[in-house]
Amino acid sequence: MQSMTSVPLSWYLILSAILFALGVAGFVIRRNLITVFMSIELMLNAVNLSFITFSYQLKQVDGHIFSFFVMVVAAAEAAVGLAIILAIFRNRSSLQIDDISSMKY
């Protein structure tokens, strides 16, 4: 508790924003599917962090509950996403994201 109060609220939020921005940048810039996938996880957890921060600040439990939901969904998403990545790799022997562009007009 003591340590929490010593760190201002804005720091948490700035960290969360930096993590989220890193996630977005990774998603947009990186070409490896697994890295892109990890970027998504990073964004989710950045959001989790800001949820927890606000929950703590406002002394309400809603943010905790939300972050649990996000974790559960993230776990499910990770399972499905990894399965898809595996299937793609088996089919194309490649994890380059720009190779997977057949879904267009």
Partner 1 sequence: MINLLFGRRLPKIAVSGVAIGSVLLSFLWVLNVLSGLGGLEEAHIERYFTWIQSGDFNVGFDLMVDRLTAVMLLVVTGIGLLIHIYSSGYMAHEEGFSRFFAYLNLFMFFMLILVLAANYLVLFVGWEGVGLCSYLLIGFYYLKKSAGDAGKKAFIVNRVGDFGFSLAMFLIVVTFGTLDFARVFAQAKDMPVEAGVGTLTVICLLLLLGATGKSAQVPLYVWLPDAMEGPTPVSALIHAATMVTAGVYMVARSSVLYLKAPLAMDAVAIIGLVTAVLAATIGLAQNDIKKVFAYSTVSQLGYMFLALGVGAFSAGIFHVVTHAFFKALLFLGAGSVIHALEGEQDMRLMGGLRSKIPVTFATIFCAAVAIAGVPPFSGFHSKDEILLAAHHHAPWMYWVGVVTAGMTAFYVFRAIFMTFFGSYRGHHHPHESPWVMLGPLCILALLSLGGGYIHIPHFLEPLFPLAEGAHEPTLVYISVAAGLAGIGLAWLMYVAQPGLPDAIAGSFRGLYTLVYNKYFVDEIYDAAIVHPLRDGSRSVLWKGIDEGVIDNVVNGVGRSARNVGSVLRVMQSGYIRSYATWVVLGSVIVVAAISFLGGSR
Using CB under 8 A as the binding rule, whether residue 101 contacts partner 1 is answered as: yes
DSSP state of 99: G
Contact 37, 89 (CB under 8 A): no
* Choices 27-35, 46-54, 72-80, 86-94 (CB under 8 A): range interacting with partner 1: 27-35
**Interacting residue with partner 1 among 13, 15, 22, 27 (CB under 8 A):** 27
Which CB atom, from 35 or from 64, has the smaller least distance to partner 1?
35
Please name the amino acid found at residue 74: A
DSSP state of 8: -
Q: Smallest distance, Å, CB 36 to partner 1?
A: 8
Give me the residue label for tokens 């957890």: 45
